[in-house]
Structure 1
Amino acid sequence: MQVPGYLAKQAELKSKGVSDVIVYCVNDSAVMDAWAKDQKVEGSILSFYGDSASKLTKEIGMELTDSRVMEALGNPRCKRHAIIADDMEVKEIFVAASEDDPAGDGKPESTFVDNVLKHL
């Protein structure tokens, strides 16, 4: 849901001053390259990056280590989130996770492009 929305609203994002949308996950670069190809992001403002060692994820406090997630996936993941940054300064952070839904799967709307656009 997130990637197609950001792709569809590139013009609106650009009109609000957004130059780049960075998508990263706790995956290796081969997985991220394949996902980028599948989502047809080439030539768009979206770039995909892997954080296979979770260095960025840990550094920004987004590591998902809830036991329910670890039981299902086997290793720490990244919380579903969106960050608005301007000139390397974080302006807003939206995290979909909640106590009863640590992965943020049940209510991911806070990370969707429409919510981000409201805050630009």
Structure 2
Amino acid sequence: MSIQVGDTIPSVTLKWLTDNGMQDVTTDELFKGKKVVLFSVPGAFTPTCSAKHLPGFVQQADALKAKGVDSIICLAVNDPFVMRAWGDKGAVEDKVVMLPDGNATFTTALGLTMDGSGYGLGTRGQRFALVAEDGKVTHVAVEAPGKFEVSSAEAVLEKL
């Protein structure tokens, strides 16, 4: 079952690449005491993700923060090196946290994996967005397959 409004963000440890090398980061660190917008894409550098999803959150970062959002996180089942390169290419700077979920640990805990093996992608995350306050989900929107409607930055802004 996928995560629902009122649920607590699952506690998992992930790896990410920082200027100081590979580091552990926990979802507890990322969500505790903060209002967080998390959006998930099926893959870094893929067409809709690169042309619309990530750029929308970069462009709307100030508007989201004006609504009380402390952190905007982009989640993808990709390795830390790919997520860092994609963030650099997308000029996210400090506007969006690029969170790699290389083993789909977090995405699985959220109950939002998808089978992309038909496209040679293996297990991936569904396209979705959620809002959490102090680790509790207050909004979740999962896209229908092949759609990009309810998880855009603009759609999240409307829900805040």
Give TM-score scaled by structure 2 length. Answer: 0.65
Higher relative contact order (CA 8 A, sep 6+): 2
CA deviation digits over 1:83-113, x for unaligned, max 9?
Answer: 111111101111112xxx3xxx3x2111101
2:142 counterpart residue number: 95
Query: Residue 73 in 1 paired to residue 120 in 2?
Result: yes
CA deviation digits over 1:12-38, x for unaligned, max 9?
Answer: 111100111100110000000000000
- Unaligned 5+ segments in structure 2 are 1-51
SS of equivalent to 2:139: strand
Alpha-carbon deviation of 1:43? 2.7
Alignment equivalent of 1:28, drawn from 79, 97, 107: 79
Query: Residue 112 in 1 paired to residue 152 in 2?
Result: yes
Alignment equivalent of 2:97, drawn from 20, 23, 47: 47
Counterparts of 2:74 and 2:94 in 1: how far apart (Å)? Answer: 15
1:82 counterpart residue number: 129
Alpha-carbon deviation of 1:59? 0.2
Q: Where is the strand percentage greater, Structure 1 or Structure 2?
A: 2
Alignment equivalent of 2:65, drawn from 14, 23, 30: 14
Task: Name the amino acid aligned to 2:148.
Answer: P
RMSD over aligned CA atoms reads: 1.1
Counterparts of 2:121 and 2:158 in 1: how far apart (Å)? Answer: 36
Q: Which runs of 4+ in 1 moved over 6 A?
A: none
Alpha-carbon deviation of 1:60? 0.3
Count of residue correspondences: 109
SS of equivalent to 1:37: helix
- Unaligned 5+ segments in structure 1 are none
Give TM-score scaled by structure 1 length. Answer: 0.85
Cα distance change, pair 75–86 in 1 and its aligned pair in 2 (3 A): same
CA deviation digits over 1:44-82, x for unaligned, max 9?
Answer: 2x10011111100100001102xxx32212411110010
